């Protein structure tokens, strides 16, 4: 990575509580790596940007995978069977648009998410190999996507008495 390089990052990896259950996946190792590289970090949560609330029911790609969703051939559904395909696609398209706007050719995304997963995602309620919908669309748009597990490392220590310690 070059200094000042703009990068899109799953917002939950940066500590934003935007997961379906209202928690985050803050990843201190990634934060340190991006700081050390001097990257310009742009947090982005495709599910929220696509119009879904937090918290929200867990969702997964229905049968095959993100490529079929991107091609309009299958759905993303919640555990209750609600169709959230439009929201997932809207968020993914906005991620592509955001990368174009900020000039990002690289994104760091949360593994195992039906949106952000890069190598692993949820299909039919199971964890399987393959990307989520946002990772698929970013890849198609030429953005290099890197999967990050999340929740690695510990927060930097602060002197006793410092606010937030
Ligand atoms: S994995 Fe992606 S969609 Fe899920 S909370 Fe994190 S940023 Fe949002």
In the chain (165 residues long), the average pLDDT of successive 10-residue segments reads: 93 98 97 97 98 98 98 97 98 98 98 98 97 98 97 70 36
pLDDT of residue 160: 47
What b/e readout covers 100-127, taking b as 16+ CB neighbours within 10 angstroms? eeeebebbbbbbbbbbbbbebbbbeeee
8 Å CB contact between 46 and 95: yes
Mutate to test the pocket of ligand 1, among 115, 119, 120 (most ligand atoms within 8 A of CB): 115
Distance CA 129, CA 119 (A): 6
pLDDT of residue 155: 75
Distance CA 89, CA 137 (A): 9
* Ligand 1 site, CB within 6 A: 10-12, 18-19, 45-47, 110, 113, 115-116
Tokens of 76: 């993303």
State pTM to two decimals.
Answer: 0.93
pLDDT of residue 154: 78
**Rounded (5°) CA angle 51-52-58:** 155
Shortest-distance Cα residue to atom 4 of ligand 1: 19
């Amino acid at each position: 990575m070059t200094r000042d390089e703009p990068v899109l990052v799953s917002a939950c990896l940066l500590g934003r509580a935007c997961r379906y259950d209202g928690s985050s996946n803050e990843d201190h190792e990634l934060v340190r790596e991006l700081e050390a590289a001097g990257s310009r970090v742009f947090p982005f949560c495709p599910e929220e940007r696509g119009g879904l609330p937090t918290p929200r029911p867990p969702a997964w790609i229905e049968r095959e995978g993100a490529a079929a969703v991107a091609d309009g051939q299958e759905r993303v559904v919640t555990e209750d069977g609600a169709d959230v395909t439009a929201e997932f696609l809207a968020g993914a398209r906005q991620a592509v648009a955001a990368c174009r706007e900020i000039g990002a050719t690289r994104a760091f995304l949360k593994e195992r998410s039906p949106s952000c997963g890069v190598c692993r995602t949820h299909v039919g309620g199971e964890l399987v190999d393959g990307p989520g919908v946002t990772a698929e669309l970013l890849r198609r748009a030429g953005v290099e996507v890197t999967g990050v597990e999340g929740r690695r490392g510990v927060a930097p220590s602060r002197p006793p008495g410092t606010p937030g310690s």
